[in-house]
Amino acid sequence: MTSALCIMGPTASGKTDLALSLARQLPVEIINVDSAQIYQGMEIGSGMPDKTNRAEIPHHLMDFLDPACAYSAAQFRLDALKVMAQTVARGKIPLLVGGTMLYFKALQQGLSPLPVSSPLVRHQLQQEALSTLYQRLEQVDAISAQRISCNDSQRIQRALEIYAMTGKPMSYWLAQPKESVPDYQFINIGLMPLTTLRSELHQRIEQRFDNMLAQGLISEVEQLRARGDLDLSKPALRAVGYRQVWRYLQGEDDFIQMREKAIAATRQLAKRQMTWLRSWPNLTIVDFKGDWRSFIKIAAQTKNNQVKGNSI
């Protein structure tokens, strides 16, 4: 069975640094698994590797989609499997890197047969108040309503969109048989706080956002706003950091409030990512500030498909 390496972890845990280190030692090509790094014009706020590194090492599914476009986990699965097959055909190892755990789940475990999104239905739902939408969801799909926060507009709209299109609740479709699991041996590595205190990850998150501001994040968002066809209803602009700066530019928050809200939202994102990771099957957890050499040794074995076990 063909092997594929996967580096998962919360934001600011060092996934990109580890991936670049591996790529300089092993015959790999990097496949992006970050839902913000797929978009063009969003290099700074998404933490995208710089153009020098991308020129040196092949990167796929990165910096290719216009921010006005939506992109689903199902589409990612199709695109990733295609790129993985091409990578293997070139004699290289697929190295999937990112923190969008839904994308990893779609790839490794398959998806339920949910209908493709309808821009028309989604637009109609976006015209209604979120509280009204959630009350409707409780009426037509109580199971999904229990799982979804009353403040999660994207998931509430998606659940109602599915009901409007099919006449059946999202919970029904999620219970249906999933797609077949791809024929790969996934070597899953999670970078998380183990021996290192979580507060150090929080410090990294704060420093990372300050670095983005210094690199020109506000100017980057100003350029997106200047297009005139984007707003916070677009999935791209709901990414952590971007939506806080967008609101700052609209005058809703001052600079200090924007910075504090962005850092707090990023910490919440990291918490959700780690919740996913704690229940992930066949995962080797490595301390995000620990010694990665043992992992590099395991990764090197994939050249001959001889990886056995999953403990470091």
- Token look-up 């504090």 returns 260
Q: Please report the pLDDT score of residue 114 as a whole number.
A: 79
Q: Which of 184, 173, 159 is nearest to 107 (CA)?
A: 184
Q: For residue 109, count CB atoms less than 10 angstroms from its CB and return exposed for 0-12, middle for 13-18, buried for 19 or more.
A: middle
Phi, psi of 228 (to 5 degrees): 90, -10
Q: Please report the pLDDT score of residue 126 as a whole number.
A: 87
- Model pTM? 0.83
Q: Please report the pLDDT score of residue 296 as a whole number.
A: 65
- Token look-up 């968002």 returns 221
Given a contact cutoff of 8 angstroms between Cβ atoms, the answer to whether 157 and 118 are in contact is no
Given a contact cutoff of 8 angstroms between Cβ atoms, the answer to whether 182 and 108 are in contact is yes
- Token look-up 């709209």 returns 157
The band of 299, judged by pLDDT with boundaries at 50, 70 and 90, is low
Residue 171: DSSP 8-state: H
Q: Please report the pLDDT score of residue 116 as a whole number.
A: 76
Residue pLDDT, tens place only, 175-210? 887 777 788 999 999 999 999 999 999 999 999 999
Which runs of E-coded beta strand occur in 233-311? Answer: 283-287
Q: Is the pLDDT higher at 311 or at 170? A: 170
Residue pLDDT, tens place only, 125-159? 989 998 999 999 999 999 999 999 998 888 899 99
State mean pLDDT over 74-93. 95
| Domains defined along the chain, listed by start | 2-111+182-304 (3.40.50.300), 119-174 (1.10.20.140)
Residue pLDDT, tens place only, 218-243? 999 999 999 999 999 899 999 999 99
- What is the percentage of the chain residues whose pLDDT exceeds 70? 92
Taking each helix axis from N to C end, the angle separating 255-278 and 242-249, rounded to the nearest 10 degrees, works out to 160
Between CA 41 and CA 64 the distance in angstroms is 9
Given a contact cutoff of 8 angstroms between Cβ atoms, the answer to whether 285 and 190 are in contact is yes
Residue pLDDT, tens place only, 45-59? 999 999 999 999 999
Q: Which amino acid is at 181?
A: V
SS (H, E, C) 105-119: HHHHHCCCCCCCCCH
Q: Please report the pLDDT score of residue 307 as a whole number.
A: 38
